[in-house]
Amino acid sequence: MSEIEPTKVLNGIKLTEKTAFLAESKNVYTFEVPLTATKIEVKQAVEKSFGVRVVKVNTQTRVGQRRRFKMKFGFTRDKKRALVKLHSDDRISLY
């Protein structure tokens, strides 16, 4: 397996009230990732870019919704999130 750059796997961190609560209480951080990213790639990218130990990775694929523009119908883009649980001793500084 070849090494890939973390910047190609992690599109950004998702910051909402819910994700901030998860980060504080359960040490789980949420990242936006490409649809083609695997759990192993996400784990390696987080460990390499933040220098932390990853315990578990869960992914969610969110299907795009149907939207109407005048008389035509289309779909919004599909999205993928990765919920990354870190070791209890490790933290990522968000602010």
Say how far residue 86 (Cα) sits from the centre of its chain.
13
* pLDDT tops 80 at residue 74: yes
Radius of gyration of the chain (CA): 15
Structure tokens at 47: 């460990």
pLDDT of residue 52: 95
| pTM for the full predicted model | 0.85
Exposure on the CB side of residue 31, measured as CA atoms within 13 A:
27
Provide the pLDDT for residue 65: 93
